[in-house]
Amino acid sequence: MHYDKIIVLDLGSQTNQLISRRIRDLGVYSELYPHTIKAADIKALTHIKGIILSGGPGSIYDKNALNIDPEIFKLSVPILGICYGMQLLAHHLGGTIEKTPKREYGGAFIEKVHDSPLLKGLDKQEQVWMSHGDHVTSLKEAYTITAKSPACEIAAFENLNNTLFGVQFHPEVQHTLKGETLLKNFVFDICKAKANWTMDNYLDNQIKTIQTATNGKNVILGLSGGVDSSVTAVLIDRAIKERLTCIFVDHGLLRENEAKSVMETFAKHLDLNVRKIDAKTTFLKALKGVKDPEKKRKIIGKTFIDVFEKAAKTIDNVAYLAQGTLYTDTIESGTATAATIKSHHNVGGLPKKMKLDLIEPLNKLFKDEVRKLGKALDMPKDMIQRQPFPGPGLAIRIIGTVDETKLALVRQSDHILHEVFEAYNLQKSVWQYFTVLTPIKTVGVMGDKRTYEHVLVIRAVTSLDGMTAEWAKIPHDVLDTLSRRIVNEISGINRVVYDITSKPPSTIEWE
């Protein structure tokens, strides 16, 4: 089964991932490629129905302006240029681009000045999102101007013979009210793509791919119980059954009942080949006395690799390591020029050390597609809807040094938080919620006695993807129930506070 594809050439825009996202939401496969890709390589991808040139921060006249292989224009595939992509298109076609006297940023109105298959279903005046400093000021005769805006005489253009289209605004962002209509026009009417990107198709393809790729050899996988590693495990199990061994490292930094429930779900109900490694003491020993958050993260990452490697050595004929890497992980690390805020714990260091080849069957999927794949695999709902849980576990939810007593305090409070959120039916509307134990102790009074105990933080956020987040506006009576239950039921905590910072400027986890 093939998928029709619309590819997006990445010219550096912050919203280029979003273009692919929106097209996949229409049921058509879309993927980002570097702008340096050659026309011949695009041809080799097969079933390419259309090409989109993304926006980007640069200017056509910059010394190092990003460009594309001119042979791409000869592929006879419809092309849509967005913002910088439109300017690049115009530039290649002999048009002129000039600096806009005043940068146009934010909501704007365009006016349709000519009928266009791309703008079908858009009104004469439409609200769009603009973000540019340059604009196209002239085009060769063969091109028709289809829309203008107060700041640009050419806000959209086309050449129907060659199926080339340019728009200065961003159809992929929600502030462009009819953006979806425009993308639908491009994808279905102009490119004639079929909506055949479904998780059932993807599942069938992946099963065959995994069977062929592994070629009778064995695969190991680090199972954490999180959505990504769980879906990867069930998918690979479906493809190669007992040739997959999942290694579940219990580092002792898990939530209440978590280790037990992971084993019950995977080994018992789903009948996966899972080995549990009890490494609590090793991790606690390695973390003893360590205060610094980055040091804690690094120690956990390294200890995990050591424990995993030792366990893997006991399995015969292993040639592959499976990982639940997502599409966002690959595109983000590909362009990572950003400073390291936190060193995320994953098993990324493993393949190099263990000389294993990688299998990453989710590396073209966005998070919500992984959940859909989990559904196509008939996985239990609560497993695919789970909120994220960081690799270093509760260790980064204890500020400062980690020990058994403190772990018990976060675990018990986290458990109460879950019970209360479920009782008030907040578990769906709040994206992630947990408790953080601080080393701060304050004075309290309980039953006429003075107490001197820890301050506990409740953190609850709404978010789409964890990249940015808003603190959740939870009702006061829920906060009240939480604070009463936590202080009454857990000895060692006498004060509860609620974190009211969003990300940025804070991060979701405290360490």
CB closer to ligand XMP out of 28 and 456: 456
Residue 258, C-beta contacts closer than 8 angstroms, at least 6 positions apart: 225
Q: Name the segment binding ligand XMP (CB under 6 A); options: 314-322, 343-351, 355-363, 420-428.
A: 343-351
Q: Name the segment binding ligand XMP (CB under 6 A); options: 37-45, 96-104, 252-260, 340-348.
A: 340-348
CB closer to ligand XMP out of 491 and 507: 507
Q: What are phi and psi of 418, to 5 degrees?
A: -65, -45
CB closer to ligand XMP out of 87 and 346: 346
- Interface with ligand XMP, residue 507, by CB under 6 A: yes
CB closer to ligand XMP out of 97 and 407: 407
Residues that are catalytic: 83, 170, 172
Size of the chain, expressed as the number of residues it contains? 511
Query: How far, in Å, CA of 286 to CA of 304, rounded?
Result: 11
Among positions 345, 372, 397, 406, the unique one binding ligand XMP when judged by CB under 6 A: 345
Which residue, among 168, 231, 275, has the nearest Cα to 378 in the 3D structure?
Answer: 231
Least distance in angstroms from the C-beta of 405 to ligand XMP: 23
Please give the C-alpha separations between residue 86 and each of 18, 134, 154, 169, 194, in angstroms, as whole numbers.
17, 11, 10, 9, 25
Q: Which two tokens stand for residue 385?
A: 């809807």
Among positions 293, 391, 399, 436, the unique one binding ligand XMP when judged by CB under 6 A: 391
- Interface with ligand XMP, residue 392, by CB under 6 A: yes
Q: Which two tokens stand for residue 167?
A: 């728009």
CB closer to ligand XMP out of 30 and 346: 346
- Interface with ligand XMP, residue 293, by CB under 6 A: no
Q: Name the segment binding ligand XMP (CB under 6 A); options: 66-74, 200-208, 341-349, 365-373.
A: 341-349
Residue 423: Cβ-neighbour burial (10 angstroms; 0-12, 13-18, 19+)? exposed
Among positions 217, 269, 295, 344, the unique one binding ligand XMP when judged by CB under 6 A: 344
Query: How far, in Å, CA of 435 to CA of 509, rounded?
Result: 10
Residue 191, C-beta contacts closer than 8 angstroms, at least 6 positions apart: 4, 6, 49, 50, 77, 78
CB closer to ligand XMP out of 349 and 388: 388
List, in sequence order, the alpha helices (H) in 424-494.
476-489
Residue 68, C-beta contacts closer than 8 angstroms, at least 6 positions apart: 9, 11, 35, 36, 37, 53, 88
Q: Total binding residues for ligand XMP by CB under 6 A? A: 14
Q: Name the segment binding ligand XMP (CB under 6 A); options: 79-87, 99-107, 339-347, 475-483.
A: 339-347
Do residues 368 and 385 lie in contact, with contact meaning Cβ atoms separated by under 8 Å? no
Query: How far, in Å, CA of 234 to CA of 267, rounded?
Result: 11
Q: Name the segment binding ligand XMP (CB under 6 A); options: 81-89, 302-310, 315-323, 390-398.
A: 390-398
Q: Which two tokens stand for residue 434?
A: 């947990």
Among positions 175, 178, 342, 418, the unique one binding ligand XMP when judged by CB under 6 A: 342
Least distance in angstroms from the C-beta of 345 to ligand XMP: 4
User: Pairing state of beta strands 29-34 and 5-10?
Assistant: parallel
CB closer to ligand XMP out of 250 and 509: 509
Least distance in angstroms from the C-beta of 216 to ligand XMP: 32
Q: Which two tokens stand for residue 384?
A: 């695919």
Among positions 30, 176, 325, 432, the unique one binding ligand XMP when judged by CB under 6 A: 432
Least distance in angstroms from the C-beta of 103 to ligand XMP: 31
Please give the C-alpha separations between residue 128 and each of 107, 174, 175, 279, 429, in angstroms, as whole numbers.
6, 9, 6, 55, 29
Least distance in angstroms from the C-beta of 68 to ligand XMP: 34
- Interface with ligand XMP, residue 466, by CB under 6 A: yes
- Interface with ligand XMP, residue 255, by CB under 6 A: no
Q: What are phi and psi of 77, to 5 degrees?
A: -120, 135
Residues 369-388 that bind ligand XMP (CB under 6 A): 388
Among positions 222, 225, 374, 390, the unique one binding ligand XMP when judged by CB under 6 A: 390
- Interface with ligand XMP, residue 208, by CB under 6 A: no
Site residues (vs ligand XMP, CB under 6 A): 342, 344-346, 388, 390-392, 432, 466, 503, 507-509
